[in-house]
Structure 1
Amino acid sequence: MMEPSEVERLITDGLQVENISVAGDGQHFEARIVSPEFADKSPLQRQRLVNAVLKEHFDSGRLHALAMQTLTPEEAARQDT
């Protein structure tokens, strides 16, 4: 079991993150991640970046599922207005 705050910390330790929110029940999580590292990357490439950061936790079974919304800062600014 993992806490949302732990998932958030792992992502922010592994990626340059401007804004992040994570919610979940211990195994299944949802995240909104805003990072300049997502610029010029497809949605699949963005997901792979995040999954690579969390790989050992997926492999161990501590983290079962993560639904994610991955945005650049510019995309997030447009969405938030």
Structure 2
Amino acid sequence: MPMPAQEIEELIRAGIPDAQVEITDLAGDGDHYSARVVAESFRGLPRVRQHQLVYEALGGRMGGALHALQLTTACPTEE
């Protein structure tokens, strides 16, 4: 059963409270998404650890309820 984009966004925000999250349905099928997650809490962390934090926030749904997620993480740019 496909996972709604809103649920993905809510899970990420619950796990990473300072995150700004943008979800895009890549195929229109509810199974293939892209997520851009920007959070100050990522600052100083290697990209691999940033991705791990997002996957942890999804609580093991990757590969099950959530089939595919193209993930981009970043820190907010300083103005």
Instruction: Indicate the TM-score class for this superposition, using the shorter chain for normalisation.
Output: 0.7 to 0.9
Q: Which residue of structure 2 aligns with residue 14 of structure 1?
A: 15
Q: Is the Cα contact below 8 Å between 1:16 and 1:36 reproduced in 2?
A: no
Q: Which residue of structure 2 aligns with residue 40 of structure 1?
A: 44
**Which consecutive aligned stretches of 4+ in structure 1 deviate over 6 angstroms post-superposition?**
none
Q: Normalising by structure 2, what TM-score?
A: 0.82
Counterpart Cα distance in 2 of 1:69 and 1:58: 15
Q: Is the Cα contact below 8 Å between 2:12 and 2:19 reproduced in 1?
A: no
Q: Which residue of structure 2 aligns with residue 51 of structure 1?
A: 55
Q: Which residue of structure 1 aligns with residue 71 of structure 2?
A: 68
Q: Which residue of structure 2 aligns with residue 27 of structure 1?
A: 31
RMSD of aligned residue pairs (Cα, Å): 1.7
Give unmatched runs, 5+ long, in structure 2.
Answer: none
Q: Is the Cα contact below 8 Å between 2:20 and 2:39 reproduced in 1?
A: yes
Q: Normalising by structure 1, what TM-score?
A: 0.80
Give unmatched runs, 5+ long, in structure 1.
Answer: none
Aligned residue-pair number = 75
